[in-house]
Amino acid sequence: MREEAKGGGEAPSALVIGAGITGVAAAERLRREGWRATLVDPVEPGDPEQASFGNGGILARCAVVPVSTPGLALRAPRMLLDPGSPLFLRWRDLPRLMPWLVPFLRAGREAEARRIAAALAMLTEDSVRQHQELAAGTPAAPFIRTGEYAYLYASRAAFEKDAWGFALRRELGFAWREADGAALRAADPALNPRYDFAAIFEDHGWIASPGGYVAALARHFLRQGGAHVKARARAIARDGTVTLEDGRTLRADRVILAAGVRSRELARGLGLEINMIAERGYHLELRGARPAPPIPYMIADGKFVATPMEGGLRCAGVVELADADAPPSAAPVRLLRRGAARLYPQLRWDEARSWMGRRPSTADSLPALGPVPGAPRVICAFGGQHVGLTIGPRLGRMAADLAAGRAPNADLRALAPERFGPAS
Protein backbone atom coordinates (compact mmCIF):
# COMPACT_ATOMS: atom_id res chain seq x y z
CA MET A 1 0.00 0.00 0.00
CA ARG A 2 1.27 3.45 -0.84
CA GLU A 3 0.31 6.57 1.10
CA GLU A 4 1.20 10.22 0.74
CA ALA A 5 2.45 12.14 3.77
CA LYS A 6 -0.53 13.66 5.58
CA GLY A 7 -1.65 17.15 4.68
CA GLY A 8 -3.47 19.00 1.95
CA GLY A 9 -2.82 21.59 -0.72
CA GLU A 10 0.24 21.98 -2.86
CA ALA A 11 2.73 22.66 -0.08
CA PRO A 12 5.93 20.62 -0.23
CA SER A 13 6.02 17.52 1.96
CA ALA A 14 8.68 16.02 4.21
CA LEU A 15 9.04 12.76 6.08
CA VAL A 16 11.30 12.95 9.12
CA ILE A 17 12.50 9.51 10.20
CA GLY A 18 13.10 9.69 13.93
CA ALA A 19 11.24 11.73 16.55
CA GLY A 20 14.07 12.56 18.95
CA ILE A 21 15.22 16.14 19.48
CA THR A 22 16.84 16.49 16.04
CA GLY A 23 13.90 15.01 14.16
CA VAL A 24 11.29 17.03 16.04
CA ALA A 25 13.34 20.21 15.52
CA ALA A 26 13.64 19.58 11.77
CA ALA A 27 9.94 18.76 11.38
CA GLU A 28 8.84 21.81 13.37
CA ARG A 29 11.13 24.13 11.37
CA LEU A 30 9.66 22.87 8.11
CA ARG A 31 6.09 23.10 9.44
CA ARG A 32 6.66 26.75 10.33
CA GLU A 33 7.68 27.35 6.73
CA GLY A 34 4.45 25.84 5.42
CA TRP A 35 5.64 22.31 4.68
CA ARG A 36 3.48 19.24 5.27
CA ALA A 37 5.80 17.58 7.75
CA THR A 38 5.36 14.06 9.15
CA LEU A 39 7.39 12.35 11.86
CA VAL A 40 7.93 8.61 11.44
CA ASP A 41 8.84 6.76 14.63
CA PRO A 42 7.42 3.67 16.39
CA VAL A 43 7.46 5.43 19.78
CA GLU A 44 6.14 8.74 21.03
CA PRO A 45 8.56 11.69 21.16
CA GLY A 46 10.15 11.82 24.59
CA ASP A 47 9.89 8.06 25.08
CA PRO A 48 12.60 6.36 27.21
CA GLU A 49 13.64 4.40 24.11
CA GLN A 50 15.11 7.59 22.68
CA ALA A 51 18.58 8.86 23.50
CA SER A 52 17.00 12.32 23.89
CA PHE A 53 15.16 11.06 26.98
CA GLY A 54 18.05 9.98 29.13
CA ASN A 55 20.95 12.38 28.67
CA GLY A 56 22.36 14.74 31.27
CA GLY A 57 20.21 17.62 30.06
CA ILE A 58 23.10 20.07 29.60
CA LEU A 59 23.05 22.58 26.76
CA ALA A 60 26.81 22.31 26.74
CA ARG A 61 28.08 25.13 24.56
CA CYS A 62 31.65 24.42 25.68
CA ALA A 63 31.53 20.66 24.93
CA VAL A 64 33.85 20.90 21.95
CA VAL A 65 36.63 18.57 23.08
CA PRO A 66 36.23 15.31 21.13
CA VAL A 67 35.66 12.05 22.98
CA SER A 68 38.93 10.74 21.54
CA THR A 69 41.86 12.98 22.47
CA PRO A 70 45.67 12.77 22.32
CA GLY A 71 46.94 9.98 24.54
CA LEU A 72 43.61 8.15 24.90
CA ALA A 73 44.96 5.05 23.17
CA LEU A 74 47.60 4.77 25.92
CA ARG A 75 45.20 5.59 28.79
CA ALA A 76 42.29 3.38 27.72
CA PRO A 77 43.72 -0.03 28.79
CA ARG A 78 44.42 1.31 32.28
CA MET A 79 40.93 2.82 32.47
CA LEU A 80 39.32 -0.49 31.49
CA LEU A 81 41.12 -2.23 34.36
CA ASP A 82 40.13 0.42 36.91
CA PRO A 83 36.77 -0.37 38.59
CA GLY A 84 36.37 3.34 39.37
CA SER A 85 36.75 4.39 35.74
CA PRO A 86 33.73 5.62 33.74
CA LEU A 87 34.79 3.46 30.74
CA PHE A 88 33.32 -0.04 30.49
CA LEU A 89 33.78 -2.75 27.87
CA ARG A 90 32.05 -6.09 27.37
CA TRP A 91 35.14 -7.98 26.25
CA ARG A 92 33.14 -10.56 24.32
CA ASP A 93 31.94 -7.76 22.02
CA LEU A 94 35.41 -6.36 21.33
CA PRO A 95 35.93 -8.10 17.94
CA ARG A 96 32.79 -6.59 16.44
CA LEU A 97 33.68 -3.16 17.86
CA MET A 98 37.18 -3.06 16.34
CA PRO A 99 36.17 -1.54 12.95
CA TRP A 100 34.86 1.43 14.91
CA LEU A 101 37.35 1.47 17.77
CA VAL A 102 40.55 1.67 15.70
CA PRO A 103 39.46 4.76 13.67
CA PHE A 104 38.02 6.26 16.85
CA LEU A 105 41.39 6.09 18.61
CA ARG A 106 43.15 7.44 15.52
CA ALA A 107 40.79 10.43 15.58
CA GLY A 108 42.45 11.42 18.87
CA ARG A 109 45.67 12.46 17.19
CA GLU A 110 46.48 16.14 17.78
CA ALA A 111 45.72 17.61 14.36
CA GLU A 112 42.64 15.47 13.83
CA ALA A 113 41.23 16.24 17.29
CA ARG A 114 41.65 19.97 16.64
CA ARG A 115 39.84 19.68 13.30
CA ILE A 116 36.97 17.82 14.96
CA ALA A 117 36.78 20.36 17.80
CA ALA A 118 36.40 23.25 15.35
CA ALA A 119 33.49 21.47 13.67
CA LEU A 120 31.87 20.76 17.04
CA ALA A 121 32.20 24.41 18.07
CA MET A 122 30.26 25.43 14.97
CA LEU A 123 27.41 23.22 16.19
CA THR A 124 27.46 24.00 19.92
CA GLU A 125 28.38 27.65 20.32
CA ASP A 126 24.83 29.07 19.95
CA SER A 127 22.99 26.04 21.34
CA VAL A 128 21.13 27.89 24.10
CA ARG A 129 19.75 30.42 21.62
CA GLN A 130 18.80 27.66 19.18
CA HIS A 131 16.78 25.90 21.89
CA GLN A 132 15.12 29.13 22.99
CA GLU A 133 14.10 30.01 19.44
CA LEU A 134 12.74 26.52 18.79
CA ALA A 135 10.74 26.41 22.04
CA ALA A 136 9.50 30.02 22.07
CA GLY A 137 5.70 30.15 22.26
CA THR A 138 5.39 26.40 22.86
CA PRO A 139 4.73 24.36 26.02
CA ALA A 140 8.39 23.32 25.89
CA ALA A 141 9.77 26.77 26.76
CA PRO A 142 9.41 26.42 30.57
CA PHE A 143 11.71 23.38 30.54
CA ILE A 144 14.71 25.53 29.53
CA ARG A 145 16.92 26.84 32.32
CA THR A 146 19.86 29.19 31.81
CA GLY A 147 22.89 29.85 33.97
CA GLU A 148 26.40 28.68 34.71
CA TYR A 149 27.98 25.27 34.19
CA ALA A 150 30.84 24.24 36.49
CA TYR A 151 33.62 21.68 36.03
CA LEU A 152 34.47 20.50 39.57
CA TYR A 153 37.97 19.34 40.53
CA ALA A 154 39.64 18.21 43.72
CA SER A 155 42.37 20.80 43.24
CA ARG A 156 43.95 23.23 40.82
CA ALA A 157 46.56 20.59 40.10
CA ALA A 158 43.81 18.19 39.00
CA PHE A 159 42.37 20.92 36.76
CA GLU A 160 45.76 21.51 35.19
CA LYS A 161 45.88 17.88 34.08
CA ASP A 162 43.06 18.82 31.69
CA ALA A 163 45.05 21.75 30.30
CA TRP A 164 44.93 20.49 26.70
CA GLY A 165 41.15 20.51 26.57
CA PHE A 166 40.77 23.88 28.26
CA ALA A 167 43.39 25.47 26.03
CA LEU A 168 41.47 24.15 23.05
CA ARG A 169 38.25 25.68 24.38
CA ARG A 170 40.00 29.03 24.82
CA GLU A 171 41.31 28.90 21.25
CA LEU A 172 37.76 28.32 20.04
CA GLY A 173 36.42 31.35 21.89
CA PHE A 174 35.13 29.93 25.17
CA ALA A 175 36.00 31.63 28.46
CA TRP A 176 35.57 30.62 32.07
CA ARG A 177 36.20 31.95 35.55
CA GLU A 178 37.92 30.04 38.31
CA ALA A 179 36.62 29.48 41.84
CA ASP A 180 38.19 27.98 44.94
CA GLY A 181 36.56 25.74 47.51
CA ALA A 182 35.38 28.59 49.75
CA ALA A 183 33.52 30.24 46.88
CA LEU A 184 32.02 26.92 45.82
CA ARG A 185 30.67 26.17 49.28
CA ALA A 186 29.33 29.70 49.68
CA ALA A 187 27.09 28.95 46.69
CA ASP A 188 26.46 25.30 47.61
CA PRO A 189 27.06 24.66 51.35
CA ALA A 190 26.39 20.90 51.15
CA LEU A 191 29.10 20.30 48.54
CA ASN A 192 31.81 17.84 49.58
CA PRO A 193 34.98 19.69 50.67
CA ARG A 194 36.99 17.32 48.45
CA TYR A 195 35.98 19.57 45.54
CA ASP A 196 38.27 22.55 46.00
CA PHE A 197 38.45 24.08 42.53
CA ALA A 198 36.11 24.79 39.62
CA ALA A 199 36.19 26.20 36.12
CA ILE A 200 32.81 27.90 35.62
CA PHE A 201 31.34 28.71 32.22
CA GLU A 202 28.63 31.35 31.87
CA ASP A 203 25.87 31.55 29.25
CA HIS A 204 24.98 27.88 29.39
CA GLY A 205 21.70 26.12 29.96
CA TRP A 206 20.00 22.87 30.81
CA ILE A 207 16.69 21.12 30.30
CA ALA A 208 14.71 20.34 33.45
CA SER A 209 13.18 17.19 31.90
CA PRO A 210 14.63 16.13 28.54
CA GLY A 211 11.87 13.61 27.82
CA GLY A 212 9.15 16.06 28.81
CA TYR A 213 10.78 18.78 26.72
CA VAL A 214 10.87 16.75 23.50
CA ALA A 215 7.31 15.52 24.13
CA ALA A 216 6.09 19.11 24.60
CA LEU A 217 7.78 20.25 21.37
CA ALA A 218 6.14 17.37 19.52
CA ARG A 219 2.68 18.11 20.97
CA HIS A 220 2.97 21.66 19.70
CA PHE A 221 4.06 20.39 16.29
CA LEU A 222 1.03 18.09 16.08
CA ARG A 223 -1.46 20.70 17.33
CA GLN A 224 -0.24 23.11 14.67
CA GLY A 225 -0.85 20.65 11.83
CA GLY A 226 2.11 18.29 11.85
CA ALA A 227 1.63 14.52 11.73
CA HIS A 228 3.16 11.44 13.31
CA VAL A 229 3.10 7.99 11.70
CA LYS A 230 3.73 5.60 14.58
CA ALA A 231 5.70 2.95 12.72
CA ARG A 232 9.29 1.89 12.10
CA ALA A 233 10.93 2.66 8.78
CA ARG A 234 12.42 -0.43 7.15
CA ALA A 235 14.00 1.16 4.07
CA ILE A 236 14.38 4.46 2.23
CA ALA A 237 14.52 4.60 -1.57
CA ARG A 238 16.46 7.17 -3.51
CA ASP A 239 13.25 8.74 -4.83
CA GLY A 240 12.05 9.55 -1.30
CA THR A 241 9.83 6.51 -0.82
CA VAL A 242 9.90 5.13 2.73
CA THR A 243 8.88 1.52 3.31
CA LEU A 244 7.56 0.73 6.78
CA GLU A 245 7.96 -2.58 8.59
CA ASP A 246 4.24 -3.32 8.13
CA GLY A 247 4.62 -3.05 4.34
CA ARG A 248 3.08 0.38 3.85
CA THR A 249 4.96 2.96 1.82
CA LEU A 250 5.09 6.71 2.28
CA ARG A 251 6.50 9.24 -0.13
CA ALA A 252 7.41 12.89 0.20
CA ASP A 253 9.37 15.58 -1.57
CA ARG A 254 12.13 15.30 1.03
CA VAL A 255 13.14 12.72 3.63
CA ILE A 256 15.24 13.67 6.66
CA LEU A 257 16.98 10.72 8.29
CA ALA A 258 17.31 11.44 12.02
CA ALA A 259 16.78 7.99 13.51
CA GLY A 260 19.75 7.87 15.88
CA VAL A 261 21.59 4.56 15.91
CA ARG A 262 19.06 3.02 13.48
CA SER A 263 20.16 5.54 10.86
CA ARG A 264 23.18 3.40 10.07
CA GLU A 265 21.20 0.51 8.60
CA LEU A 266 18.83 2.84 6.74
CA ALA A 267 21.80 4.75 5.28
CA ARG A 268 23.40 1.47 4.22
CA GLY A 269 20.37 0.77 2.08
CA LEU A 270 21.15 4.02 0.24
CA GLY A 271 24.75 2.97 -0.40
CA LEU A 272 26.34 4.82 2.53
CA GLU A 273 28.54 3.19 5.15
CA ILE A 274 28.40 5.20 8.38
CA ASN A 275 31.06 4.16 10.90
CA MET A 276 28.81 4.52 13.94
CA ILE A 277 27.98 2.39 16.97
CA ALA A 278 25.38 2.46 19.72
CA GLU A 279 27.65 3.70 22.49
CA ARG A 280 25.78 2.92 25.68
CA GLY A 281 25.26 5.60 28.34
CA TYR A 282 23.52 5.53 31.71
CA HIS A 283 21.77 7.84 34.09
CA LEU A 284 20.73 7.64 37.72
CA GLU A 285 17.82 9.88 38.66
CA LEU A 286 17.25 10.54 42.36
CA ARG A 287 13.70 11.76 42.85
CA GLY A 288 13.28 14.15 45.77
CA ALA A 289 17.04 14.50 46.15
CA ARG A 290 18.21 16.74 48.94
CA PRO A 291 20.44 18.57 48.56
CA ALA A 292 20.67 19.25 44.81
CA PRO A 293 23.13 21.47 42.98
CA PRO A 294 22.11 25.05 42.13
CA ILE A 295 23.60 24.66 38.63
CA PRO A 296 24.80 21.67 36.59
CA TYR A 297 28.18 20.24 37.52
CA MET A 298 30.63 18.20 35.49
CA ILE A 299 32.37 16.00 38.06
CA ALA A 300 35.82 15.75 36.55
CA ASP A 301 37.10 12.81 38.58
CA GLY A 302 34.05 10.72 37.71
CA LYS A 303 33.39 12.05 34.19
CA PHE A 304 29.67 12.45 34.83
CA VAL A 305 27.29 15.39 35.07
CA ALA A 306 25.02 16.17 38.00
CA THR A 307 22.02 18.20 36.85
CA PRO A 308 19.16 19.68 38.89
CA MET A 309 15.96 18.50 37.24
CA GLU A 310 12.24 18.60 37.86
CA GLY A 311 11.73 16.70 41.07
CA GLY A 312 15.29 15.68 41.70
CA LEU A 313 18.89 15.18 40.64
CA ARG A 314 20.13 13.36 37.55
CA CYS A 315 23.65 11.94 37.37
CA ALA A 316 24.49 10.93 33.82
CA GLY A 317 27.48 9.84 31.81
CA VAL A 318 29.61 6.72 31.57
CA VAL A 319 30.75 5.06 28.35
CA GLU A 320 29.99 1.38 27.83
CA LEU A 321 31.21 -0.31 24.68
CA ALA A 322 29.00 -3.33 24.16
CA ASP A 323 26.50 -4.89 21.81
CA ALA A 324 23.55 -2.52 21.44
CA ASP A 325 21.00 -5.15 22.44
CA ALA A 326 22.83 -6.57 25.46
CA PRO A 327 20.97 -6.11 28.76
CA PRO A 328 21.92 -3.12 30.93
CA SER A 329 24.93 -3.57 33.19
CA ALA A 330 24.83 -2.98 36.94
CA ALA A 331 28.36 -1.59 37.34
CA PRO A 332 27.79 1.79 35.59
CA VAL A 333 24.79 2.57 37.80
CA ARG A 334 26.75 1.61 40.91
CA LEU A 335 29.52 3.96 39.79
CA LEU A 336 27.06 6.85 39.37
CA ARG A 337 25.54 6.14 42.77
CA ARG A 338 28.99 6.29 44.39
CA GLY A 339 29.71 9.51 42.52
CA ALA A 340 26.49 11.13 43.76
CA ALA A 341 27.29 10.12 47.36
CA ARG A 342 30.79 11.57 46.99
CA LEU A 343 29.37 14.85 45.64
CA TYR A 344 26.99 15.25 48.60
CA PRO A 345 27.93 13.08 51.62
CA GLN A 346 24.55 13.84 53.29
CA LEU A 347 22.52 13.09 50.14
CA ARG A 348 19.04 11.65 50.64
CA TRP A 349 16.31 10.88 48.13
CA ASP A 350 12.84 9.36 47.87
CA GLU A 351 13.24 7.14 44.81
CA ALA A 352 16.12 6.08 42.55
CA ARG A 353 15.55 5.33 38.87
CA SER A 354 18.17 4.17 36.39
CA TRP A 355 18.21 4.21 32.60
CA MET A 356 20.43 2.92 29.81
CA GLY A 357 20.40 4.37 26.31
CA ARG A 358 22.24 4.16 23.01
CA ARG A 359 24.20 7.17 21.83
CA PRO A 360 24.66 7.33 18.05
CA SER A 361 28.45 7.78 18.08
CA THR A 362 30.51 8.02 14.93
CA ALA A 363 34.18 7.12 14.84
CA ASP A 364 35.15 10.80 14.54
CA SER A 365 32.68 12.20 17.13
CA LEU A 366 30.91 14.26 14.44
CA PRO A 367 27.34 13.92 13.18
CA ALA A 368 26.42 13.15 9.61
CA LEU A 369 24.66 16.10 7.98
CA GLY A 370 23.92 16.53 4.32
CA PRO A 371 22.22 14.98 1.31
CA VAL A 372 22.92 11.39 0.34
CA PRO A 373 25.10 11.26 -2.80
CA GLY A 374 22.93 10.10 -5.67
CA ALA A 375 19.78 10.61 -3.59
CA PRO A 376 19.40 14.37 -3.08
CA ARG A 377 15.85 13.97 -1.75
CA VAL A 378 17.27 12.30 1.38
CA ILE A 379 19.02 14.42 4.01
CA CYS A 380 21.10 12.86 6.81
CA ALA A 381 20.95 14.47 10.27
CA PHE A 382 22.14 12.06 12.96
CA GLY A 383 25.13 11.07 15.11
CA GLY A 384 24.99 13.54 18.00
CA GLN A 385 27.01 11.25 20.36
CA HIS A 386 27.48 12.99 23.75
CA VAL A 387 26.04 16.34 22.59
CA GLY A 388 22.88 15.16 20.86
CA LEU A 389 20.51 17.27 22.98
CA THR A 390 22.85 20.27 22.83
CA ILE A 391 23.05 20.37 19.04
CA GLY A 392 19.63 18.89 18.18
CA PRO A 393 17.86 22.17 17.28
CA ARG A 394 20.88 23.39 15.31
CA LEU A 395 21.23 20.11 13.44
CA GLY A 396 17.48 20.00 12.78
CA ARG A 397 17.46 23.58 11.55
CA MET A 398 20.32 22.96 9.12
CA ALA A 399 18.65 19.77 7.88
CA ALA A 400 15.47 21.78 7.24
CA ASP A 401 17.51 24.39 5.38
CA LEU A 402 19.05 21.71 3.18
CA ALA A 403 15.64 20.15 2.54
CA ALA A 404 14.33 23.55 1.44
CA GLY A 405 17.27 24.07 -0.90
CA ARG A 406 19.07 26.64 1.25
CA ALA A 407 22.78 26.36 1.98
CA PRO A 408 23.39 26.77 5.74
CA ASN A 409 25.79 29.54 6.66
CA ALA A 410 28.46 27.07 7.74
CA ASP A 411 31.15 24.83 6.29
CA LEU A 412 29.61 21.35 6.40
CA ARG A 413 32.41 19.40 4.73
CA ALA A 414 33.54 17.82 8.01
CA LEU A 415 30.00 16.46 8.49
CA ALA A 416 29.53 15.00 5.01
CA PRO A 417 27.65 11.67 5.29
CA GLU A 418 29.83 10.10 2.60
CA ARG A 419 33.09 10.70 4.50
CA PHE A 420 33.22 7.08 5.70
CA GLY A 421 32.88 5.68 2.17
CA PRO A 422 30.32 3.59 0.29
CA ALA A 423 28.54 0.59 1.76
CA SER A 424 30.30 -2.69 1.00
Q: Mean pLDDT of residues grouped by 10 in the chain (424 residues)?
A: 48 97 98 98 96 94 95 86 86 93 95 97 97 98 98 97 97 97 97 97 97 98 98 96 97 97 97 96 97 97 94 94 92 96 97 96 97 96 96 98 93 96 81
pLDDT given at position 1: 31
Specify which residues 235 forms β-bridges with: 243
- Given this model, what pLDDT does residue 80 score? 83
Which residues of the chain are in CATH 3.30.9.10 domains?
A: 57-125+136-207+277-362
Fold of 57-125+136-207+277-362: D-Amino Acid Oxidase; Chain A, domain 2 (3.30.9)
* Alpha-carbon gap, residue 105 to 110, rounded angstroms: 11
What pLDDT is stored for residue 2 in this prediction?
42
Instruction: Name the segment(s) of the chain with CATH classification 3.50.50.60.
Output: 2-52+211-275+365-420
3-state helix, strand, coil in the chain (%, to 5): 35, 30, 35
- Residue 67 phi/psi, 5-degree rounding, is -65, -40
Supply the pLDDT for residue 77: 84
Distance CA(338)–CA(204), nearest Å, equals 27
- Helix (H, G, I), strand (E, B), or coil: what is residue 156? helix
The CATH code of domain 2-52+211-275+365-420 reads 3.50.50.60
